[in-house]
Chains A and B, each alone.
Chain A
Amino acid sequence: MSLRIVVCVKYVPDATGDRHFADDLTLDREDVDGLLSELDEYAVEQALQIADAADDAEVTVLTVGPEDAKDALRKALSMGADRAVHVEDDDLHGSDVIGTSLVLAKAVEETGYDLVISGMASTDGTMGVVPALLAERLGVPQVTLLSQVSVEGGVVRGRRDGDSASEELEASLPAVVSVTDQSGEARYPSFKGIMAAKKKPVKSLDLDDLGIDADEVGLAGSWTAVDSAAERPARTAGTIVKDEGEGGKQLAGFLAGQKFI
């Protein structure tokens, strides 16, 4: 029986660009280039490795995002995913994490899955909670923040490196997995992969297709409200000294002045 893997990938503004908020206090997507969240490349990589190790597997990449978010899907397809699902609807603009996870969960169910794989966190919202939310909504085990993962005989195993301990985890499929950037470098798309991606199917779904009411998502339907966003004042220029033999002592003087010594 075929192993159906769905990888959640987010389209995010480039972290090295000048990111800011739009007038409605949502993410401004106009002025910054978007890309596949780098941390989701690790999820795609692990999905492809798990698929390779299985007899018969299919990897679907899924995104919830605006028109441009197709770029993230194309990147994942060019890495080797088989097909893509794009949930796109004007009413999604400004969704918070509760709304986003609702849409993702419905789309995962609609797609059909044995295993859902996510990144550890997006590089924009950086909440790191979508995988747990998906597991809760789907009613399947969460096996999250894995630095190592394998699937064999309908069982997923992995290592979770936490603050105070490292844990070996195990759950039966279906399950939701998230992987960290310690799980192994993601592959680069090959020229062949990029060409092949152009022919792979990208299915578009909207809220109607998923049976979700517009007032459950988007800015208006959001469970949270952002009241203000202010750019952090630029730091006042610090003192910079060149070490000419006394740099360490000068620094000690500064630290003593600040009462750190």
Chain B
Amino acid sequence: MAEVLVYVDHVDGAVRKPTLELLTLARRIGEPVAVALGNGAADTAAALAEHGAVRVLTADAPEFADYLVVPKVDALQAAYDAVSPAAVLLPSSAEAKEIAARLAVRIGSGIITDAVDLEAGDQGPVATQSAFAASFTTKSRVSKGVPVITVKPNSAAVEAAPAAGAVEALTVSFSEQATGTKVLSRTPRESTGRPELTEAAIVVSGGRGVNGAENFAVIEALADSLGAAVGASRAAVDAGWYPHTNQVGQTGKSVSPQLYIASGISGAIQHRAGMQTSKTIVAVNKDSEAPIFDLVDYGVVGDLFDVVPQLTEEINTRKG
């Protein structure tokens, strides 16, 4: 069976969930060969094997951390040359998309970004994409070269499928461009203890209606009662009430959880672009005309400062 390269997104050896989802999709089109780079690369092997990786190619070198993007492109290209895969799949993070794009040019292939589903087709893998703020669904293919495709988080359920996952060291020689952009310093983001926004099964978001940084406690309390991630609209972020990393929408994160709860958010097109594919959508807004109500499965017209705390209390009571 044809091999499919899967680029691994991990933090010091801990594989992130979107990569495990990718392995599930990769198995629909071939045998996954995972490529893990950087600090802790070899530690990813057990998780990758458990989810279907037949081989795990690893490489670590200071270049991966000290310079931006290109060293990883060099490494993925080395893996590509070694494996001759039928397709290359990457998660749709900002960095992985850039890696994918540069690889595509180098190997003379087309690229599809932000697929939300993937299946085998007569003429190669067929990707489903969501266009124009998720108002359209398209099916597309790479028609020249070996398909390079990036896939959004929550596009498939993670399935265990034990495979050999034999670890092999990948030999990488870095290109002249590799050291072009220096990373002078890196400040890791502090963990809030809540789930990662793009990976969370439930996202609870607040907007301008939350009306102040301190009031976000109301949103956080609801999120914690549900084990959810916290999101925010750009209006809330621009006002300085919540960090930009939590912004949901076109220029923020795009989320696709099982449940999305929007409070004090009107539902502007750019916000919808980032949450419209959520499975179940709930809104609390005091304006019955707010466009967000066009999207909801359940909406409450009311003041979020009455509705949300009552909801949180009720959830905590029901959980006992």
Residues of A at under 8 Å CB distance from B? 15-16, 19-21, 25, 39, 96-98, 101, 120-121, 123-124, 126-129, 131-133, 135-137, 139-145, 147, 157, 160-172, 175, 180-182, 222-232, 235, 238-243, 245-252, 254-256, 258, 260-261
A42 to chain B, nearest CB (A): 10
Which one of B177, B288, B296 contacts A139 once the chains associate, using CB atoms below 8 Å? B177
Asked if A226 meets B251 with Cβ closer than 8 Å, knowing A248-B306, A251-B284, the reply is: no
Is B170 interfacial (CB 8 A cutoff)? Answer: no
Query: 6 tightest A-B contacts by CB?
Result: A243-B302, A248-B310, A223-B110, A141-B180, A129-B101, A252-B314
Asked if A168 meets B183 with Cβ closer than 8 Å, knowing A227-B140, A238-B298, the reply is: yes
Which B residues are CB-close (under 8 A) to A243? 300-303, 306-307
Which one of B189, B307, B318 contacts A248 once the chains associate, using CB atoms below 8 Å? B307
> Is the pair A238, B185 in contact by a Cβ cutoff of 8 Å?
no
Asked if A161 meets B244 with Cβ closer than 8 Å, knowing A136-B106, A251-B284, the reply is: yes
| Majority secondary structure, B binding face | mixed
Asked if A232 meets B136 with Cβ closer than 8 Å, knowing A252-B315, A261-B315, the reply is: yes
A231 to B138, CA, bound (A): 9
> Is the pair B94, A163 in contact by a Cβ cutoff of 8 Å?
yes
Is B137 interfacial (CB 8 A cutoff)? Answer: yes
Residues of B at under 8 Å CB distance from A? 11, 68-70, 73, 93-95, 97-98, 100-102, 104-106, 109-114, 126, 130-145, 177, 180-189, 198, 202, 226, 244-245, 250-251, 258-259, 269-270, 273, 280-282, 284, 288, 293-303, 306-315, 318-319
Which A residues are CB-close (under 8 A) to B112? 224
A137 to B204, CA, bound (A): 41
Which A residues are CB-close (under 8 A) to B100? 129
> Is the pair B142, A223 in contact by a Cβ cutoff of 8 Å?
yes
Which one of A143, A147, A224 contacts B111 once the chains associate, using CB atoms below 8 Å? A224
Which B residues are CB-close (under 8 A) to A160? 68
The chain B residue sitting closest to A145, CB to CB, is B94
> Is the pair B68, A142 in contact by a Cβ cutoff of 8 Å?
yes
A29 to B134, CA, bound (A): 18
A161 to B243, CA, bound (A): 11
> Is the pair B187, A165 in contact by a Cβ cutoff of 8 Å?
yes
Asked if A241 meets B315 with Cβ closer than 8 Å, knowing A133-B101, A140-B180, A226-B140, the reply is: no
Which one of A127, A180, A226 contacts B97 once the chains associate, using CB atoms below 8 Å? A127
Which A residues are CB-close (under 8 A) to B198? 163
Asked if A242 meets B302 with Cβ closer than 8 Å, knowing A132-B101, A142-B69, the reply is: yes
A173 to chain B, nearest CB (A): 11
A167 to B187, CA, bound (A): 6
A172 to B138, CA, bound (A): 40
Which B residues are CB-close (under 8 A) to A231? 135-136
Which one of A21, A98, A142, A238 contacts B110 once the chains associate, using CB atoms below 8 Å? A98
Which one of B68, B70, B273 contacts A169 once the chains associate, using CB atoms below 8 Å? B68
Which A residues are CB-close (under 8 A) to B303? 243
The chain B residue sitting closest to A163, CB to CB, is B93
Asked if A39 meets B251 with Cβ closer than 8 Å, knowing A128-B97, A223-B145, the reply is: yes
Which one of A140, A223, A242 contacts B301 once the chains associate, using CB atoms below 8 Å? A242
B135 to chain A, nearest CB (A): 6
